[in-house]
Amino acid sequence: MTLKDRIVETSWENLSLGERIRHLEVEGYVVLPGLLSAELVAELRGALSEIPTVGADYTDKKQVHNDIQWAGGAITDLIAHPPAIEFLCHLFGDLPILMTYDYSRSEAGCPAINLHCDGQPWGTAIFGAEQSCPKLIRVLYYLQDLTPTSAPFRVVPRSHLSFHNDANPYLRYKEHPEQAMVTCHAGDAVLISHNVVHGNYANQGDYARELLGLAYRPTWAGPCEAVDPWPADQLAIVPPLVREILRDRNTRTWMYDAPNVPPDLASEAPGINPSRWNRVE
């Protein structure tokens, strides 16, 4: 069997909650189908058509707008999109905190994006410290169908589990012999671990492929160093549900001086149950 570039054929709509969590935790990614309605996809595409973009440093066929969270309307509202937040609350055990929010558009003819990780433990010049969090999930909303020719998602499954030096999150690769192709429909979301090795295939189609990417993390898992707080004037004007997700990005639960036997030790922790993958609700 040829592993390279095989198209993933999982029936995403049939997975239970526990199976979705398992796929994300073990394979490093999962597709949540139909998170955006056709009407919301159209609204987002219309709003994004007015947003200025710049070319990536390696090709002008990829246009980006970083830090798009303050654009307003449906773009800003997406931060607190209920179906995604509900899943993340199950995954994290609490309300997620947004770290970054970006837009990218792969034009027809856009070359493949090399394989990389989105999270580096000590930060980088490209990503800063915002995605240095020990645990972080990126939610990738696709606004056009991902076909084998329209810049589909590519991933090296389970790569985030490896202890090998090849899994150093600072490394990048042109391709990998066991990379897989993930296709989906407009309005679907691909959720990825920030340490899974992934990228995009080239856009060989005849239309642009748009993506809104939001990075969320659990409350405890703050960045390696302080990052800029959200501007108070911007926070004041976003909807209350969005403001709940835009909590202090520097929040973390760090018990440096914790004793060997702290008081009030718990005897249950459902979030680390091996049986957590059996959840069906």
Evaluate whether 241 touches 80 at the Cβ level (below 8 Å). Answer: yes
- Say if residue 1's pLDDT is above 50: no
Distance CA 127, CA 197 (A): 15
Q: What local confidence, expressed as pLDDT, does residue 227 receive?
A: 97
Q: Where are the domains of the chain?
A: 6-250
Distance of CA 242 to the CA centre of its chain: 17
pLDDT digits (tens, 9 = 90+) for 113-134: 999 999 999 999 888 899 999 9
Contacts of 57 (CB under 8 A, 6+ apart): none
Q: In the chain, what is the straight-line distance between the N-terminal and C-terminal CA atoms, in Å?
A: 35
Distance CA 273, CA 269 (A): 7
Specify the amino acid at residue 267: S
Nearest to 24 by CA among 276, 210, 267, 281: 276
Distance CA 119, CA 15 (A): 27
User: What distances in angstroms separate CA 182 from CA 16, 30, 146, 266, 279, one per listed residue?
Assistant: 19, 10, 8, 40, 25
Distance CA 168, CA 117 (A): 9
Evaluate whether 28 touches 167 at the Cβ level (below 8 Å). Answer: no
- Say if residue 146's pLDDT is above 50: yes
pLDDT digits (tens, 9 = 90+) for 56-92: 999 999 999 999 999 999 999 999 999 999 999 999 9
Which one has a higher pLDDT value, 7 or 279? 7
The pLDDT confidence band at residue 280, using thresholds 50, 70 and 90, is confident
pLDDT digits (tens, 9 = 90+) for 156-202: 999 999 999 999 999 999 999 999 999 999 999 999 999 999 999 99
CATH H superfamily, domain 6-250: q2cbj1_9rhob like domain (2.60.120.620)
Evaluate whether 110 touches 62 at the Cβ level (below 8 Å). Answer: yes
- Least confident interval from 31-45, 95-109, 115-129, 199-213: 115-129
Q: What is the mean pLDDT of the chain?
A: 96
Phi-psi region of 269 (alpha: psi -120 to 50; beta: other; left: phi over 0): beta
Evaluate whether 179 touches 8 at the Cβ level (below 8 Å). Answer: no
Tokens 């249950």, located at residue: 268
> Which pair of tokens denotes residue 35?
């998170």
- Say if residue 55's pLDDT is above 90: yes
Evaluate whether 172 touches 116 at the Cβ level (below 8 Å). Answer: yes
Nearest to 172 by CA among 246, 209, 215, 120: 120
**Residue 6: half-sphere exposure toward Cβ, Cα within 13 Å:** 11
Q: What local confidence, expressed as pLDDT, does residue 2 receive?
A: 55
Question: What long-range pairs does 45-50 form, CB within 8 A, spacing at least 24?
Answer: 45/143, 45/210, 47/71, 47/73, 47/74, 47/75, 48/75, 48/103, 48/105, 48/143, 48/210
